Amino acid sequence: MVLDVAAVVGPQGWTTWDALTARVDRKTVARWTATGALVRLHPGVYATSSAATQWRTRVAATVLARGGVAGHRTALALWDLVPAGGPVHVTVEPPRSNRSPAGVVLHRSPDLHDAIRSVDGIPVTSVERSLVDTWGRPGGLARPVVRAAVIAAVRRRMCRPVDLATEVDRRPQLTARSSLLGLIRLLAEGCQSELEIWGCLHVLRAPGMPAFTLQHRVVVGGRTFFLDAACGEVRLAVEMDGAAWHGSREQRERDIRRDALLATTGWQTLRFGFARLTGSPDECRREIRSVHAARLGLMRPGGAQ
């Protein structure tokens, strides 16, 4: 019977020596390795020739060989929050050696067991710990990339702002700690993108502006909507439209239908695109104040709607 290497190794493309020799004899393993059908990635860790070149296989093998979990930038890539690549970051518990072989960056954490998760069978640090660790040690990532990962993780509900804050509390000496805490506060208040953060800080919260609530929930006709910013006393909504999401014709049409549906219950929606919001913030503020004053005058005789 001719054995198929891929079938023996399994769907992940890699396996351990013990698992391998439980299915085939050592001579078969030696023959496969000699012919290149099987690749020894680390002592006791093997992969098929096709899988051996894949980044995730290399990560899985490295993590297994070092007896730790994928951490930092590697963990964020496994969570699909940053691009894959670079050296493999592995976090281990002390007193394990922290000597790093080529292509591997080792970190030590005394409370690692509290944050171990799994991605595609690979042990990995939790999203919140991975984000905070990478914030302190970006590993070659630019700060805006790490910020975007933090924002995306909260928006996708992969972690909560309070989870991030808890991780930051563990690190009183974290690099740029105050900046991360400021970002976490804005995310906790409802900001879901860099544009919304900019609009919140430079437009909505400028002196003389009415009070707005972020991500205000409205139910109309059995459908639930979350408004970027809402002033409930006059039913005024402000939407901050990023070009990437709102630039297509289909999305613009959906926005029009949504605004019309909200209008049936008395909500007026003001939409500001990226260029106008960031290029003419004074004009945006004036328009918001003007519409707010007009609606306040309309609603005053009957009280708040």
Res 124: pLDDT: 96
Q: Report yes or no on 59 lying in a domain.
A: no
Same-domain check for residues 95 and 150: yes
Q: Which of 159, 189, 219 is the last residue of a domain?
A: 189
- Name the burial class of residue 245, with classes exposed (0-12), middle (13-18) and buried (19+) by CB atoms within 10 angstroms of its CB: exposed
In a domain, 265, yes or no: yes
Q: What is the pLDDT of residue 304?
A: 45
Do residues 45 and 17 make contact, with C-beta atoms less than 8 angstroms apart? yes
Both 235 and 166 in one domain: the answer is no
Cα distance between residue 61 and residue 38, in whole Å:
14
Q: Which helix (H) or strand (E) holds 55?
A: helix 55-66
Q: What is the dihedral of CA 12, 15, 21, 22, to 10 degrees?
A: -60
CATH of the domain at 205: 3.40.960.10
Q: Tens digit of pLDDT per residue, the chain (305 long)?
A: 557 899 999 888 888 899 999 999 999 999 999 999 999 988 888 999 999 889 998 898 889 888 899 999 999 999 999 999 889 999 998 875 556 677 889 988 888 888 999 998 899 999 999 999 999 999 889 999 999 999 999 999 999 999 999 999 999 999 999 999 999 999 999 999 999 999 999 999 999 999 999 999 999 989 999 999 999 999 999 999 986 554 578 888 999 999 999 999 999 999 999 999 999 999 999 999 999 999 999 887 654 44
For residue 36, give its domain range. Answer: 5-53
Residues 69 and 184 in one domain: yes
Report how far residue 269's alpha carbon sits from residue 205's, in angstroms, rounded to the nearest whole number: 18
Judgement on whether residues 160 and 198 belong to the same structural domain of the protein: no
**Distance (Å, whole) CA 199 – CA 43:** 53
Q: Is residue 48 classed as helix, strand or coil in its secondary structure?
A: strand
What was the pLDDT predicted at 296? 92
Do 40 and 80 belong together in one domain? Answer: no
Strand partners, 116: 125
pTM, full prediction? 0.84
Q: Are 39 and 46 in contact (CB under 8 A)?
A: yes
Which residues, 6 or more positions from 170, have their beta carbon under 8 angstroms from its beta carbon?
none
SS (H, E, C) 113-170: HHHEEEECCEEEECHHHHHHHHHHCCCCCCHHHHHHHHHHHHHCCCCCHHHHHHHHHC
- Please state the domain count of the chain: 3
Backbone region of residue 220 per phi and psi (left: phi > 0; alpha: psi in -120 to 50; beta: other values): beta
How many CA within 13 A on the CB side of residue 274? 9
80 and 38 together in one domain: no
Question: Last residue of some domain: 143, 163, 189?
Answer: 189
